[in-house]
Amino acid sequence: MSDAKLQGVLLALSQVARQLSAVPSNQPGPDANCVKLNTNENPFPLPMMVMQSALAALERHYLYPEDDNLSLRDAAANAYGFSKDQVIAGNGSSELLGLIYRAFLAPGDSVAMMSPGFSFNRKLAMLQGARFLEIGWGEAYSLPIGQLLLGPAKDAKFILLANPNNPTGTFVPVADIDSLAAQSDRLIVVDEAYVDFAPDDALRLINRHSNLLVLRTFSKSYAAAGIRVGFGFGHPELIGRLRNLQNVFNMNLIGHAVGISILSHRAAYDENHRYIKDERHRATIALSQLGFSVIPSHTNFLLARVPPGQDGNWWQASLERQKILVAVFPDDGLENYIRVSIGTKTQMDAFLSAARDISESLKMQSLPVKHR
């Protein structure tokens, strides 16, 4: 295709698509030798009974998966105490987020998110031509109910909050979400991707508030990030309309089988969850001793402010040189933070050892030179 023809094709794109640049195909992948603590994965193997369900499903690879995820939705309804019509299943909760944006937003509409929050939501709003309002958390990362009801977010088509929140790891009392949903006439979307590491959840509010939608995923607490299983829970009328927007066969056979098996064997993950909480505590203490300020976390990661006078990007680069990957964020106020996923003991030992080495090196550089 000549350049002139290509320009004509590109001009025919929608206004939103024209704002997107082409993603290069030669981006380097992560070094396989690195300790990967930058994407909040749960690095432990699936329980044997769950793995066996995946292998059994693979034998039926020539069949289409079940339409409308009927058996998976039924299993989730039974596990969490809902009717099947109150459950939608998705290719991870990220697919379900995309459906919500498509269903509720037209060009010029606005959506409000508690910020800092999951940055992918900015792109979802942009794809709908919608305005993205970022509402700051209250003191000590509390929920600013008054601002959400009467402030800049009062005209938003829906309000999105993650509880526990990413990237801060903080948790707001479910009673505050109950109060917000009761006082608002808009949709409240609660993303509970990390809730299995937290003290409470909002599922019990579903039958109390028809304007509440709760999202879950098996990526974080159930070690199935690569299999892509997510759920939404809400009023049957809302759930039914979202299901009507889904692509045919949106999930695969293995996702169905693994999701159903996890729902039947959730207790098999109890030790996994206890380990992550214990290791989270150990890493918090160790980083604090190195001068980091760690935000109390209810997730499988830590957000830590680097020692005074230092920079988050510098720490990320320094750790990467030692084959340790952590995350940093461009958001205002997060420039001096790193986010560290909780990995295996071996991975965490490697991270903490590298952090100590870097810290000691910085101390040596700051020592005054003794003149003879």
Residues 241-296: tens digit of each pLDDT: 999 999 999 999 999 999 999 999 999 999 999 999 999 999 999 999 999 999 99
Which pLDDT value is given to residue 333? 86
pLDDT at position 219 over 60? yes
pLDDT at position 26 over 70? no
What's the first-to-final CA gap in the chain, in angstroms?
73
> Would you place residue 158 in the very low, low, confident or very high pLDDT band (cuts 50, 70, 90)?
very high
Give the whole-angstrom CA distance, residue 327 versus residue 341. 9
> Would you place residue 57 in the very low, low, confident or very high pLDDT band (cuts 50, 70, 90)?
very high
Give the whole-angstrom CA distance, residue 161 versus residue 298. 15
pLDDT at position 371 over 50? no
Which pLDDT value is given to residue 330? 87
pTM > 0.85: yes or no: yes
pLDDT at position 370 over 50? no
What is the amino acid identity at position 99? Answer: L
Least confident of 12-16, 88-92, 108-112: 12-16
Give the whole-angstrom CA distance, residue 23 versus residue 75. 38
> Per residue in 95-148, pLDDT tens?
999 999 999 999 999 999 999 999 899 999 999 999 999 999 989 899 999 999
Beta bridge partners of residue 89, listed in sequence order: 231
> Please, what is the average pLDDT of the chain?
93
Which pLDDT value is given to residue 372? 39
Ordered alpha helix ranges (H), the chain: 3-11, 15-18, 48-58, 70-80, 93-104, 120-127, 145-150, 174-183, 236-245, 253-264, 270-289, 312-321, 345-366
Instruction: Give yes or no for a contact between 345 and 57, defined as CB atoms under 8 angstroms apart.
Output: no
Give the whole-angstrom CA distance, residue 184 versus residue 187. 8
**More reliable by pLDDT, 18 or 161:** 161
Which pLDDT value is given to residue 2? 59
Instruction: Give yes or no for a contact between 169 and 296, defined as CB atoms under 8 angstroms apart.
Output: yes
**Which single residue is written with the structure tokens 């590298």?**
354
Structure tokens at 291: 């001068």
Burial of 54 (0-12, 13-18, 19+ CB in 10 A): middle
pLDDT at position 368 over 70? no
Structure tokens at 166: 């990413």
For the chain, domains (ranges, CATH) are: 28-44+269-359 (3.90.1150.10), 48-264 (3.40.640.10)
**Would you tell me how many other CB atoms lie within 10 Å of the CB of residue 249?**
13
Which pLDDT value is given to residue 27? 66
Q: What percent of the chain has pLDDT over 70?
A: 96
3-class secondary structure, 137: coil
> Per residue in 175-197, pLDDT tens?
999 999 999 999 999 999 999 99
User: What secondary structure letter does DSSP report for 340?
Assistant: E
Strands 35-36 and 324-325: parallel
Give the whole-angstrom CA distance, residue 127 versus residue 147. 26
Whether a cis peptide bond, with omega within 30° of 0, leads into 173 is: no
pLDDT at position 163 over 50? yes
Whether a cis peptide bond, with omega within 30° of 0, leads into 308 is: no
> Per residue in 309-367, pLDDT tens?
889 999 999 999 999 999 999 888 899 999 999 999 999 999 999 999 999 988 777 64
pLDDT at position 64 over 80? yes
> Among candidates 168, 170, 167, which has minimal Cα distance to 119?
167
| Residues across the chain | 372
